[in-house]
């Protein structure tokens, strides 16, 4: 079975982490308390095999608070 490495982190977003990520696994990012999702708000990334490489799909999510 193929596995993705650790996903990249997003400022002010949290993620429930496993140790190993199988191809096909989808991660759901959530903004931390006090932070809101700003456009773009796609908070998922998927482990995929593309051209023989195991990668995470690009993640577009920004978490910001109203004072920033």
Domain ranges, ordered by start, for the chain: 3-53
Encoding tokens for residue 5? 């490495």
Q: What is the pTM of this model?
A: 0.69
Most distant CA pair in the chain, distance = 45
pLDDT, one tens digit per residue, over 18-66 is 667 899 998 888 888 888 877 665 578 899 999 999 999 988 788 888 7
Rounded to an integer, what distance in angstroms lies between the CA atom of residue 5 and that of residue 22? Answer: 9
- Return the ∠ at Cα 20 (arms to 37 and 7), rounded to 5°: 35
Is residue 68 scored above 70 in pLDDT?
Answer: no
């Amino acid at each position: 079975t193929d596995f993705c490495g650790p996903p990249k982190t997003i400022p002010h977003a949290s993620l429930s982490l496993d140790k190993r990520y199988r191809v096909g696994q989808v991660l759901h990012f959530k903004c931390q308390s006090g932070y809101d999702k700003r456009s773009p708000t796609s908070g998922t990334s998927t482990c995929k095999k593309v051209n023989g490489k195991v990668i995470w799909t690009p993640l577009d999510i920004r978490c910001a608070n109203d004072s920033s």
